[in-house]
Structure 1
Amino acid sequence: MSLLPVAEAQARLLALGTILPQERVPLMQAVGRWAGADVVAMRHQPADDLSAMDGYAIRFDDLPGPWRLVGESAAGARFAGEVAPGECVRIFTGATMPEGADTILIQEEVGTEGATVTLTGDAPHRYGLHVRAKGADFGQGRAVIHKGELLNAAHIALAAMAGHGSIPVARKVRIALISTGNELVQPGHPVGADQLPGSNGVMLQALLHGLPCEVMDKGIIRDDLSAIEAAIRGCADADIIVTTGGASVGDHDLVRPALAAAGAEIDFYKVAMKPGKPLMAGQLGKTVVLGLPGNPVSAFVTAQLFLKPLVAALSGAANPAPDLVSLPVGAALSPVGKRAEYLRGHWDGRVVTPLRVQDSGAVYALSQANVLIYRPINDGAMEAGAQVECLLL
């Protein structure tokens, strides 16, 4: 069986799922989720012409003055009258411009004596200076947030200013995690001979933290076909079932036959990447099944490249694929063979340097990495200083 290129495997995985049903959530619950529809402004911002400075609202044609002070306009308490020729209104930042006035004379440029205001400094050099025009930020009816955009704090402020108290988003993705392996024990439990702590379950939960998902950890399942099948069948309410381990071809690698026994259809198996070759994906009814390798580094890398984009796709992301950035490499790199490589590296703000240890079981080295250096299939040798594509962690 030929190995599937990473980009094709990603596309095929994302095609297995569909965007989940939508719900409207309060603004603060929308942070870190993707907009399920365009958010259209219900009002102009600003709603009226506003002053951008403290000073005096005047008619530009009345320059160079003097002016008769007839009132005051503050934020939330506008001047109710109209500014006639030769008149001005004391105004503060954010206050509504009075009718008839069109320009702001900043307070540092004037002198006052009683109700008389005179120009003592530089005059406004143009009509409308220091005025924020009605609708200058956005107008009523404009789509201020687009479907599929990832919502951050600025989007929340924008939605609020546009008149909304909630945003439509896809419901949270339900993810079931299944770890397999006779050698695994729960973290923190005594470790016997031929055993090791199971780190993949907690690692994946940590990796998914902050994404719009609900994670159900089904624990560690022994290498028994019927036990793994039963665990898989017990995840019928999940949108994604993630297994770790048991995805290779050894006598104890039972995830594939267990999935088949449960009625799943495997879409692809084995990807041309290092680490992470024994990756598989398929469907069990409407549930997407993603089988990750058991080695912790392999599970981490494949989760970055496949699981997180899948969550984004089901959540309605317009661009679920991970973004790569170009960085200068700090050391020479060897040629790449028939599998794309994802080297663990460290970016120090100047160059990115591959870590010395690249073993797929080296968790300490993984903890020191803040980037994955992407090397495509058959990429040639690279000198220090060359640009490489990287995934920021």
Structure 2
Amino acid sequence: MSSPLETFAGLLDRSIREIATLATDARSFDATRIGRVADIWDNNTLHLVGAACAPWPLRSRRASTGLRWMADLGADRRRLMVDLDPSLDRMLPPAGRARSVHRDYRGRVSPGVFELTAEIIDVLAHDYDLVNGSVRSLTAQPSDEGLRVHLTLATPRLFTPSTGRVSGDGSTMPWPAAPLKFTFNGVTDLRFDAEDRIGMAISHTSAGSTVTIGRSGGLQATEASIWPYDPRWYESTAGQAADLTTPLTRPQRRKPVRTSTLTAPQSAAARALVMLMNHARLVHYYPNLAAGVPILDICRVAADAGSAILAAGARRGAERQTAFAELEQRWRRVPPTTPPEAARSGPVTLRHAWYDEPHHDHDDPHHGRAVLLAAVPGADPAAPWTLASEEITQPSRFRITSTAFDDGQHFHRDGTFLRIDDALVVR
């Protein structure tokens, strides 16, 4: 049976192998999962190094505390950790009940993510004009659970904010439409046309959610959630009701992990590895750059990092410092991001599609764009496929259906006109 420290280090090794597996062949590329796995190590690598370098009697306790701290971020984080290492299910405490509403630093109630139910839909329709809302952005990508769609609907409020928005020049302006951020999992029959993006209707049954967009668009999903990303939500009917039941105190996380004081080489090695993981998660936050991020090179540089930390921590004195200095030198060699390869006419497997409508909120103009990520074959048909991408600024046309993500599609390119039969049209 592995010790807590070995489990902690093994989780890092498994994370890097998982990222490599998702990137080895672009037909299985999952930008969201790569980002979630890499994100684990943003604020936990220092804890692992600290546990590995602690005095021997304290190592297991420090490692156990670090793993519990890591899982304390929420049920989704705990699920991801157990998915990477099932043995953690016995080691970690059950996930705490997540609050859908919390208070911000001013004491105002602020919404989190709500599971989409018939009741929540009724509440939304009472506070927001879904019928006159406009799809601001839509992202679709395959995952292990089926097609996943993120959709932001900019909706007029049916309640009146008590104050206007103060703009950058000090003047008072009306509040822009409220963004409602929907996530749909297990999506079937997606149909979206940017020319037909006004108006949304949602229904929910035990079988899932059905959405109508505009006159002829829509989707069906087995699971759905909603985040009302509205800074004035606390003034809505739902917000005022939540204010009566939400505790005045903000929920507290576990106490921060206590780590041993790291030496300069130990800290430098940990931060170099953090930078590698941050570089890997770019594919999630910046999909337009994903095809140029050298994920496999990053994974080769970071391979067996957890085991290497254990080995370096097991040394003593000057040998330990030298070992961590060598790790820092190895991990600081972040391969550069390169210009992404453009998709050519021919066979493709679409892995990501993103449409963003031009809008102007909070004094900042946002230019519309469309981003596509696709797996494409190389000269050797038996070799793994690679990732290619397209970014079109201010597209005049964007239409997509769920069949665009089917295997065996053919990509047509004619100048700035991109097409997968009738399943995807971008110009």
- TM-score w.r.t. the length of structure 1 is 0.26
* Larger radius of gyration between Structure 1 and Structure 2: 1
Greater percentage in helix: 2
Q: Which has the higher contact order (CA 8 A, sep 6+)?
A: 2
